[in-house]
Chain A
Amino acid sequence: MQWEIVIGLEVHAQLSTSSKIFSGASTAFGAEPNTQACAVDLALPGVLPVLNRGAVERAIRFGLAVGAHIAQRSVFSRKNYFYPDLPKGYQISQFDLPIIGQGSLTIQVPTTTTGQTYKKVVRLTRAHLEEDAGKSLHEDFHGMTGIDLNRAGTPLLEIVSEPDMRSAAEAVSYAKMLHTLVRWIGICDGNMQEGSFRCDANVSVRRPGAELGTRREIKNLNSFRFLQQAIEYEAQWQIDTLENGGTIHQATVLFDSDKGETRAMRSKEDANDYRYFPDPDLLPLAIDNEWIEQVRGTLPELPLSKQARYIADLGLSVYDADTLTSSREMADFFEATLNEAPKEAKLCANWLMGDVSASLNREDRDITQCPISPQQLGGMLKRIADGTISNFAAKEVFKILWSNGGNPDTIIETKGLKQMSDVGAMEAMVDEIITANPVQVAEYRCGKEKVFGFFVGLAMKASKGKANPAQMNEILKRKLAG
Chain B
Amino acid sequence: MSLSINDVYKVARLARLGVTEQEAQTAHAQLLTIFSLIAEMQAVDTNGIAPMSHAQDITQRLREDVVTEHNQRELFQAAAPQIKKGLYLVPQVIE
Q: Classify the interface of chain A: helix, strand, loop or mixed.
A: loop
**In the complex, A271 Cα to B79 Cα: how many Å?**
30
- Give chain B nearest CB distance to A299 CB in angstroms: 18
- Give chain B nearest CB distance to A91 CB in angstroms: 15
B84 in contact with A270 (CB, 8 Å):
no
Contacts of A266 in B (CB 8 A): 95
A180 at the interface (CB under 8 A from B): no
A145 in contact with B92 (CB, 8 Å):
yes
Stretch at the interface among B18-26, B38-46, B59-67: B59-67
Contacts of A36 in B (CB 8 A): 69, 71
* Chain A positions 381 through 408: 1 when the CB is less than 8 Å from some CB of chain B, otherwise 0: 0000000000000000000000000000
CB-contact partner of A265 in B61, B73, B90, B95, under 8 A = B95
**In the complex, A266 Cα to B94 Cα: how many Å?**
10
**In the complex, A37 Cα to B86 Cα: how many Å?**
11
- Give chain A nearest CB distance to B17 CB in angstroms: 12
**In the complex, A33 Cα to B84 Cα: how many Å?**
10
B86 in contact with A32 (CB, 8 Å):
yes
Task: State the 4 A-B residue pairs at the shortest beta-carbon distance, nearest first.
Answer: A54-B65, A24-B68, A146-B87, A33-B86
CB-contact partner of A73 in B59, B65, B94, under 8 A = B59
A26 at the interface (CB under 8 A from B): yes
Interface residues of A in 1-48 (CB under 8 A from B): 17-19, 23-26, 32-39, 42, 44
**In the complex, A97 Cα to B59 Cα: how many Å?**
14
Question: Can you list 9 A-B contacts (CB < 8 A)?
Answer: A18-B67, A52-B64, A53-B62, A54-B65, A97-B53, A146-B89, A147-B89, A283-B59, A283-B60
CB-contact partner of B92 in A54, A144, A148, A280, under 8 A = A144
**In the complex, A268 Cα to B61 Cα: how many Å?**
38
CB-contact partner of B67 in A26, A37, A146, A147, under 8 A = A26
- Give chain B nearest CB distance to A84 CB in angstroms: 4
* Chain A positions 62 through 76: 1 when the CB is less than 8 Å from some CB of chain B, otherwise 0: 000000000001010
B93 at the interface (CB under 8 A from A): yes
Known contacts A24-B69, A34-B73, A144-B91: does B84 contact A284 (CB below 8 Å)? no
A477 at the interface (CB under 8 A from B): no
B87 in contact with A283 (CB, 8 Å):
no
The range of chain A's interface size is: 35 or more
Contacts of A136 in B (CB 8 A): 93
**In the complex, A275 Cα to B12 Cα: how many Å?**
12
A286 at the interface (CB under 8 A from B): yes
* Chain A positions 434 through 476: 1 when the CB is less than 8 Å from some CB of chain B, otherwise 0: 0000000000000000000000000000000000000000000
Contacts of A278 in B (CB 8 A): 53-54
Contacts of A44 in B (CB 8 A): 76
The range of chain B's interface size is: 35 or more
Contacts of A26 in B (CB 8 A): 67, 69
A55 in contact with B65 (CB, 8 Å):
yes
**In the complex, A265 Cα to B93 Cα: how many Å?**
13
A83 in contact with B87 (CB, 8 Å):
no
A137 at the interface (CB under 8 A from B): yes
A53 in contact with B64 (CB, 8 Å):
yes
B6 at the interface (CB under 8 A from A): no
- Give chain B nearest CB distance to A403 CB in angstroms: 42
Known contacts A25-B69, A33-B85: does B93 contact A145 (CB below 8 Å)? yes
With A44-B76, A145-B93 already in contact, 6 other A-B pairs whose C-beta atoms are closer than 8 Å: A23-B69, A52-B62, A97-B53, A136-B93, A144-B84, A147-B88
**In the complex, A234 Cα to B75 Cα: how many Å?**
47
Contacts of A34 in B (CB 8 A): 73, 76-77, 86-88
Known contacts A37-B76, A275-B14: does B53 contact A18 (CB below 8 Å)? no
Known contacts A35-B73, A147-B90: does B67 contact A19 (CB below 8 Å)? yes
A273 in contact with B14 (CB, 8 Å):
yes
A292 at the interface (CB under 8 A from B): no
Contacts of B68 in A (CB 8 A): 19, 24
- Give chain B nearest CB distance to A281 CB in angstroms: 10
Contacts of B67 in A (CB 8 A): 18-19, 24-26
Q: Closest B residue to A56 by CB, please name it.
A: B62
* Chain A positions 57 through 94: 1 when the CB is less than 8 Å from some CB of chain B, otherwise 0: 00000000000000001010000101110000000000
A145 in contact with B69 (CB, 8 Å):
no
Contacts of B94 in A (CB 8 A): 138
Contacts of B4 in A (CB 8 A): none
- Give chain A nearest CB distance to B91 CB in angstroms: 7
Known contacts A145-B91, A278-B53, A284-B53: does B86 contact A24 (CB below 8 Å)? no
